[in-house]
Amino acid sequence: MLSKKSQYAFKALSYLVNKYEQGPVLISEIAKKKKIPLKFLENILLELKKAGILDSKKGKGGGYFLKKDPAKVKVAQVIRLVNGPIAMLPCVSLYFYERCKNCDEKNCGLHDMMIEVRDASLHILENRTLKDLA
Amino acid sequence: MLSKKSQYAFKALSYLVNKYEQGPVLISEIAKKKKIPLKFLENILLELKKAGILDSKKGKGGGYFLKKDPAKVKVAQVIRLVNGPIAMLPCVSLYFYERCKNCDEKNCGLHDMMIEVRDASLHILENRTLKDLA
DNA sequence: CTAGAAGTCTACTCAATTGGTAGGTTGGTG
DNA sequence: CACCAACCTACCAATTGAGTAGACTTCTAG
């Protein structure tokens, strides 16, 4: 399951998609409109900025805004960033891979099954972008 | 991600699949062969028994064994039992559904996307059984 | 019929993660 | 230069995940 943090991130992003290229948006505005705890949202947006998805402006008239075209930011990327691995097992994860101890990957039914699930999920999440959130 | 508990459950089940219709198997034997903490495994097997997947025999010569044909037990069922929801959001879960507050399900891009992911995953997990673990 | 083997139950611990809050600091803008 | 808004550090509480301890029941082989 996606964490609340991830759900908040997507809500905030969808809000910013609708304001794309309309200047900076206050954290407080997003928090209010999307009913997200303000200080929690601060952390999330900062993280998205550090990952290069958002950018911000300080001072009066400042706020957050999308750094790139929403159609160019994949949903899979956001999930990996905020929520972690998409795969159901570490030993089938592309970005968070860990070898499976006590289990021969070449000969493990579960392993194969989870690769299938991963691929099916990625097929969708790698082909959807922030634009599709709106 | 699947919890360790789930991974242990699948390891134990795959061991029992290979011993199907060969009489009861000791918890301690499974624990040793699959390198699972004994007392933790006890809880897991008990849970699988209560769900009707395993059955057990007490006393000397006792142990655990599959109650049903391994080809008749779906992987999806085991995951739901031991790990919880398969969907990435409560509002798209079939068995653990919860309404999404502050988000109109009829008009939510994330919602639609997650339904797709869920269906793609279920398509696999509902068509694989314990037999496929071996 | 009884000893011991084996599953069952209750309760606990410990660490990590999640979700959230408080308050001060920095830096840009009008 | 005043103020605004992002940024940073540090907490805190609740939950979950992972695992342990030990007593209790029940069954069956001999």
Residues of A in contact with B122 (CB under 8 A): none
Cβ(B106)–Cβ(B81) below 8 Å: no
Give the DSSP letter of residue B85: -
A106: pLDDT strictly greater than 90: no
Residue nearest to nucleotide C9 (CA to C1'): B43
How confident is residue A32, by pLDDT bands cut at 50, 70 and 90? very high
**Above 90 in pLDDT, residue A24?**
yes
Residue A97 pLDDT greater than 90, yes or no: yes
The predicted model gives A95-116 an average pLDDT of 88
**Would you state the pLDDT for residue A25?**
97
The pLDDT assigned to B58 comes to 93
Mean pLDDT for the stretch of residues A2-9: 97
Distance, CA of B38 to CA of B31 (rounded, Å): 5
Q: What is the pLDDT of residues B63-89, one digit of tens each?
A: 999 999 999 999 999 999 999 999 999
Instruction: Return the pLDDT at B14.
Output: 96
Question: How high is the mean pLDDT of chain A?
Answer: 95
Neighbours of B97 (CB within 10 A): 13
DSSP, collapsed to helix, strand or coil, labels residue A67 as coil
Please give the full DSSP string across A67-81, using - where no structure is assigned.
Answer: SS-GGGSBHHHHHHH
Residue B18 has pLDDT above 90, yes or no: yes
B85-113 pLDDT, tens digit each: 999 999 999 999 998 877 777 778 999 99
Q: Which of B89, B113, B121 sits opposite A128 (nearest CB)?
A: B113
Of A84, A89, A132, the CB nearest to B2: A89
Chain C: nucleotides below 7 Å from protein CB are 4-9, 11, 18-23, 26-30
* CB contact at 8 A, A88 and A38: no
pLDDT in the model for residue B134: 83
- Residue A58's pLDDT band (boundaries 50, 70, 90)? very high
* Dihedral sign of CA atoms B30, B33, B38, B44 in order: negative
Cβ contact, residue pair B125, A103, below 8 Å: no
In this predicted structure, the answer to whether residue A34 has a pLDDT above a threshold of 80 is yes
Instruction: Write down the pLDDT at residue B55.
Output: 96
- Residue A79: predicted pLDDT: 98
